[in-house]
């Protein structure tokens, strides 16, 4: 079974950059001004989920 990974809702993301700077795995980058999680790097620590001011990041099983 696949492990859950963080996932950014691109409709909600404001590209504030908060999750990008806090990710310990450097797993988040921007793509077309929206945050994107590299699921190969993500360890589902949920720090970004707690950091996002608008709740745009969730944890999902891919
Ligand atoms: S869950 Fe943790 S490792 Fe994964 S993208 Fe968010 S901060 Fe980075
Ligand atoms: S913290 Fe939330 S709003 Fe800010 S860039 Fe990350 S996903 Fe987007």
**Domains in the chain: ranges and CATH:** 4-61 (3.30.70.20)
State the chain's maximal CA–CA distance in angstroms.
Answer: 33
pLDDT in the model for residue 62: 60
SS (H, E, C) 28-39: EEEECCEEEECC
Name the pTM for this structure: 0.92
pLDDT in the model for residue 46: 96
Is the CB of residue 50 below 6 angstroms from any atom belonging to ligand 1? no
Is the CB of residue 56 below 6 angstroms from any atom belonging to ligand 2? yes
**Contacts of residue 50, Cβ cutoff 8 Å, sequence gap at least 6:** none
pLDDT in the model for residue 60: 82
Determine the distance from the C-alpha atom of residue 60 to the mean position of all C-alpha atoms in its chain, rounded to a whole number: 11
pLDDT tens string for the chain (62 positions)? 778 999 999 999 999 999 999 999 999 999 889 999 999 999 999 999 999 999 999 998 86
- 5: how many CB neighbours lie within 10 A of its CB? 19
C-alpha 55 to ligand 2 mean position (Å): 8
């Amino acid at each position: 079974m696949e492990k859950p990974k963080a996932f950014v809702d691109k409709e909600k993301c404001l590209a504030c950059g908060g999750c990008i700077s806090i990710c310990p795995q450097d797993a988040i980058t921007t793509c077309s001004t929206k945050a994107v999680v590299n699921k190969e790097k993500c360890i589902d620590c949920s720090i970004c989920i707690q950091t996002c001011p608008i709740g745009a990041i969730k944890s999902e099983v891919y």
